[in-house]
Structure 1
């Protein structure tokens, strides 16, 4: 949720022209490349950079792959509220995905098959 607030985008349906990552994957990519501030929505430009970085870091900590490594909600709130908290470095998100679809169109629906898992998703479209 914190990453959605910071970026002004939803994880579900997130699209980027350079890759097929979801919002969490995009945030993780920017974090690893040392460019986390690029995640920030323009509406947040008056928020101090240190606060934005803290929010991004806490957001990434909350979505780590192993649940036992994620902070509790009270810990996350403490981290966000604290001015001098030393935060651990986040690890890869558990819901870090890259969408890779093959389009197969039919007259009544559009089917997309996920290459990596074989999952089929049908999207109904009106005429």
Structure 2
């Protein structure tokens, strides 16, 4: 009879110290002026690129039509859920309806701010 030894390597642990608030306000365009200019001058392209970076379909924002843009609102709610940001559906609805480019800029800044790279200590390159 043969014995089988199972060894488990320690897994990296990521300590999340982000707050429960948005990293920037809805009108904090000065934090990334080139990005906000891009959103202002070519909003459909900017929204599609941001959607793709978030892991959604590239053309998803092109479906935003109507009084309350459903895609912008659902992306904002999804981002709040993913990052643990406390806010209200009512505010998401207002921002999606009346400040769409600013909303997409805020979501893009949040993705950049929360993009945590996992670094393994004592890892060897082979």
> Which structure is higher in strand share?
1
TM-score, normalised to structure 1, is 0.26
TM-score, normalised to structure 2, is 0.26
> Which structure is higher in helix share?
2
Larger Rg over CA atoms? 2
Relative contact order, CA 8 A, sep 6+: which one is greater? 2
